[in-house]
Structure 1
Amino acid sequence: MSEALKRDYEIGEELGRGRFGTVFRCFSRESGEPFALKSIDKSLLTDPIDRECADREAKIHRLVAAGNPGVVGIHEEYEDDAAIHLIIDLCPGGDLFDRISGSAPLPEPEAAAVTAALVEAIAACHRRGVAHRDVKPDNVLFDLKGRLRLSDFGSAEWFGEDGGEEMRGLVGTPYYVAPEVVAGKHYGEKVDVWSAGVILYMMLSGMAPFYGESAAETFEAVLRSNLRFPTRVFRSVSPGAKDLIRRMLCKDVSRRFSAEQVLRHPWITSSGGSILVEQENLLPSSL
């Protein structure tokens, strides 16, 4: 591990492990302030695309985090022969996956509050010409005050503030990836809206809208995009919520809502739009 990193920070226990790296708790030796350390193992970056994403992660993360309270902050970057190390905000409130997995569907006001905060963070990234490309509950964290923070920009890509540059490449997670990504087409930033729509569907139902027994079967279901609202789980869900889901999970990208349009939808503005990212205790601690 980098000598400069060890000089500046005391490394603590492991907090989590992902495809390319590990997250640790760490403390500034100067101030004693706690942070998280994300160490990306270079030996795992065998695909040139993965290495390219890792090389630009810090730059993109800094761009979208500046002045954006809905994104996990990034503070320092170190590199040695073995790994790239990023010092980021510590979010001890856990992630959205932990809060919704195995629990009953969320009440609509709580789901609306989470969606509003998440989509505001996504919209802020899009305003700066960046698509996250891996929006999923595992990457939606909560800080000490319960505020939502979007994390992990390892798959993020620059598309240009005017939306003029399209992206390509199968990145993301099967349940949450948009159909145009799976189809191998060029695509734009609305892939993030699709992923947020999947999360909204899951928060209100406890199940994924498109799934299979394997990644391949899940991709096939995503490509079909046969959106259904089973009566047994959506009986009590309002028409407004289902309307927003349809507009976010629209296979026709030209008709799919943008992040800004999601924030203006009546279900958001009446239920959770006033909450957004400034709201503390976004979800009750009992979840």
Structure 2
Amino acid sequence: MSESLQNDYELCEELGRGQFGIIYRCFSRISGESFACKSIDKRLLSDSTDRECIVKEPKILRVLGGNAHVTQIHRIYEDENWIHMVIDLCEGPDLYERISKRGGAFSECEAVSIFSQLIESISYCHKLGIAHRDIKPDNVLFDSTGKLKLADFGSAEWFGMNERGSMTGVVGTPYYVAPEVLLGREYDEKVDVWSAGVILYILLGGVPPFYGETSVETFEAVVRGNLRFPTRIFRSVSPAAKDLLRKMLCKDASRRLSVQQVSRHPWVISGGANRSNG
């Protein structure tokens, strides 16, 4: 453990564990303020791609500093074997836990209060030329006041690095990944809009829009992109909400809404109260 980290922060209990490291609760020895410390074991990084992601994440978080709906990085420490990132502490249950605990759909007003914050965070990232590329409920956190914080930028990428603003590489998570990613094509930042659309569908319907018994079957369903609204689940969901979902979960990325267009959709603007056909 880095000596300089221990001089500045006291590490407490473990909060979570990932592929390459551990997240601890910590507090500043100077201010007494609580944070999370993401400690990454560099010895577990098996290839150059892993190393690139680990090095890139703190750089991206520094660029994204200052937005209320993105986890902030406060300090970074590195020694021979470890990278330690001191970031915002989000003590509330994440969105995955909230959905699991609910065991069913959210009302449109409840859904839009979460969704609008998520869209604000994605819009901020895209304005700065950054695509998250792994938006899923597990990466949507909440602080002690209930404010949403988009987290885990390990798969994020700058999409303005070439003239077309395109990206490549299969990243993401079953259920949430966009079809163009799975097809191995070049893609743009609208992959985040697709993932956010999947989250909205789950919030309103309680089930994912595309799924299978295995990851392969789920990926096949995503690539088909056959969006349905089963009556028994979506009977009480407004036409405006369904209109937004169709425009976010559009297989043709060129026709899919941008995140800015999503934020201006009547259903979002009305706070989930718009019952028109959009």
Q: TM-score, normalization: structure 2?
A: 0.94
Deviation at 1:37, TM superposition (A): 0.3
Distance 1:221 1:59 in 2: 35
Q: Is the Cα–Cα contact under 8 Å of residues 126 and 161 in structure 1 kept in the other structure?
A: no
Tell me the residue number matched to 2:57.
57
Q: Is the Cα–Cα contact under 8 Å of residues 128 and 161 in structure 1 kept in the other structure?
A: no
Deviation at 1:161, TM superposition (A): 8.5
Distance 1:108 1:162 in 2: 39
Q: Which amino acid aligns with 2:118?
A: L
Give the 3 Å change call, closer, same or farther, for CA 41–159 of structure 1 in structure 2: same
Tell me the residue number matched to 2:98.
99
Tell me the residue number matched to 1:114.
114
Other structure's SS at 2:60 match: helix
Other structure's SS at 1:176 match: coil
CA offset digits 1:187-242 (Å, max 9, x no partner): 11000000000000000111111111221111111111111111111111111111
Other structure's SS at 1:174 match: coil
Q: Which amino acid aligns with 2:160?
A: G
Tell me the residue number matched to 1:19.
19
Other structure's SS at 2:270 match: helix
- Correspondences of 1:129-148 after superposition (within 5 Å): 129-148=129-148
Q: Which amino acid aligns with 2:255?
A: R
Distance 1:49 1:208 in 2: 30
Tell me the residue number matched to 1:285.
none
Tell me the residue number matched to 2:271.
271
CA offset digits 1:92-120 (Å, max 9, x no partner): 11211111114221000110111111011
CA offset digits 1:24-61 (Å, max 9, x no partner): 10011111110000112223321321211111110101
Q: Which amino acid aligns with 1:263?
A: S
CA offset digits 1:108-167 (Å, max 9, x no partner): 011011111101100000000000011010111111111111111111101128973311
Tell me the residue number matched to 1:89.
88
**How many residues matched?**
272
219-228 or 47-56: bigger deviation: 47-56
Q: Is the Cα–Cα contact under 8 Å of residues 66 and 72 in structure 2 kept in the other structure?
A: no
Q: TM-score, normalization: structure 1?
A: 0.91
Distance 1:201 1:163 in 2: 33
Distance 1:83 1:224 in 2: 42
Distance 1:5 1:29 in 2: 10
Give the 3 Å change call, closer, same or farther, for CA 23–272 of structure 1 in structure 2: farther
Tell me the residue number matched to 1:123.
123
**Residue ranges of structure 2 left out of the alignment (5+ in a row):** 274-278
**Residue ranges of structure 1 left out of the alignment (5+ in a row):** 274-287
Distance 2:128 2:163 in 1: 10
Distance 2:97 2:220 in 1: 27
Q: Which amino acid aligns with 1:125?
A: C
Q: Is the Cα–Cα contact under 8 Å of residues 105 and 206 in structure 1 kept in the other structure?
A: yes
Distance 2:20 2:218 in 1: 23
- Correspondences of 1:202-221 after superposition (within 5 Å): 202-221=202-221
Percent of aligned pairs with the same residue?
A: 63
Other structure's SS at 1:188 match: coil
10-19 or 161-170: bigger deviation: 161-170
Other structure's SS at 1:35 match: strand
Distance 2:164 2:143 in 1: 34
Distance 2:230 2:85 in 1: 43
- Higher RCO (Cα < 8 Å, 6 or more apart): 1
Tell me the residue number matched to 1:40.
40
124-133 or 93-102: bigger deviation: 93-102
Distance 1:199 1:254 in 2: 21
Q: Which amino acid aligns with 1:154?
A: G
Q: Which amino acid aligns with 1:236?
A: S
Distance 2:271 2:56 in 1: 37
Give the 3 Å change call, closer, same or farther, for CA 15–71 of structure 1 in structure 2: same
Distance 1:8 1:67 in 2: 22
Question: RMSD of the TM alignment (CA)?
Answer: 1.5
